[in-house]
Homo-oligomer: A and B are copies of this chain.
């Protein structure tokens, strides 16, 4: 990244933490062995791999052998849906990976409120006797809105108990897509009440194309990639040793700084929010006021073309997103902004600013000056 640019898109991708790269480095070169090989150096590589899984598991209050290491969140989400034969309940503001995986099933999409929040009661209302999976994101990747996972888990648990007491054998599980929010929220699986959880290393300053599905022992996961029988037969292929060791280091680092970074992010974000709302009282803030990731700021400038804004800002070295990276790429309006009922004219003027490791008070201040100037210029252009 150029020294002059100011990166405000940490929800799209994060740079590898230097300490993560340092942890991975030996496993690229001198410790390159196939963990399935029989000789001692390879056995040590296997041990380091298992140890990394244990360390990741520790961060979420689970056991290492309950983790299935995948090539990122998308594969993990697909795997979470693999064992389902019946009905699925999810929301209309999930990531594309969940929406697409759900589409292969009979599915009910629960509607979010105007702040991107899903109520446990609306999930309850969507459940059917044949519902096998409820899949809800921990936090929304466009708005940062945090979902009431514990309340939703309580509903799922209640239904499970009721079914058991009635002698019904249809299982029901809660999958939590925690692709956003790791490092800022409590992700202890027992406290959340989840049965499955997806985590993505590439969003937490770890290597890309590494992720995991945590699945409690009661969940049936059907392997999608078969072969050598790695990951307890649930995901074959020679293990991603370096990637998993990097993932573990990244998890430990963001877990250790959860409190301080959450505070630092909220301060930066709140100051940015104040500055922008003061400059543009007509601006629309989206995402839940209270239940929102501390590093997310979603703001719309009605009547402005956000894509033009992104390019104008880029010329000043300020890198921000319009909606999500995925939606931006397709040139279609974000399904999340449509779902929360944002007026198209407002939605099309939306920026998503996501703060992170690369953010400082100084560069946030600079970025705000550029943003305010660029929005003013666009407004003037539109008024002409």
B41 close to A16 (CB less than 8 A): no
Which B residues lie within 8 Å of A240 (CB)?
71, 208-209
B100 close to A227 (CB less than 8 A): yes
Q: Report the minimum CB–CB distance from A331 to chain B (whole Å).
A: 9
Which B residues lie within 8 Å of A209 (CB)?
71, 209-210, 237-238, 240, 243
Which among A96, A225, A325 has the greatest number of chain B C-beta atoms within 10 A? A225
B321 close to A38 (CB less than 8 A): yes
Q: Report the minimum CB–CB distance from A250 to chain B (whole Å).
A: 12
Which B residues lie within 8 Å of A227 (CB)?
74, 77-78, 95-97, 100-101
B32 close to A15 (CB less than 8 A): yes
- Residue in B2, B5, B40, B96 whose CB lies within 8 Å of A228: B96
Closest to A331 in B: B38
Which B residues lie within 8 Å of A72 (CB)?
237-238
B78 close to A225 (CB less than 8 A): yes
Inter-chain CA distance A9–B75, complex, in Å, is: 30
B13 close to A236 (CB less than 8 A): no
A29 close to B15 (CB less than 8 A): yes
Q: Which of A25-68 contact B (CB under 8 A)?
A: 28-34, 36-42
Q: Which of A209-233 contact B (CB under 8 A)?
A: 209-210, 224-229
A307 within 8 A of B: yes
Q: Report the minimum CB–CB distance from A211 to chain B (whole Å).
A: 9
Inter-chain CA distance A12–B241, complex, in Å, is: 14
Inter-chain CA distance A70–B243, complex, in Å, is: 15
Which B residues lie within 8 Å of A36 (CB)?
12, 325-326, 328-329
Using known A-B contacts A75-B237, A101-B227, A236-B97, determine if residue A37 contacts B16 with beta carbons closer than 8 Å. no
Which B residues lie within 8 Å of A42 (CB)?
12, 319
Which B residues lie within 8 Å of A75 (CB)?
71, 225, 237
Which B residues lie within 8 Å of A73 (CB)?
237
A270 within 8 A of B: no
- Residue in B13, B225, B237 whose CB lies within 8 Å of A238: B13
B28 close to A21 (CB less than 8 A): yes
Q: Report the minimum CB–CB distance from A270 to chain B (whole Å).
A: 25
A330 within 8 A of B: yes
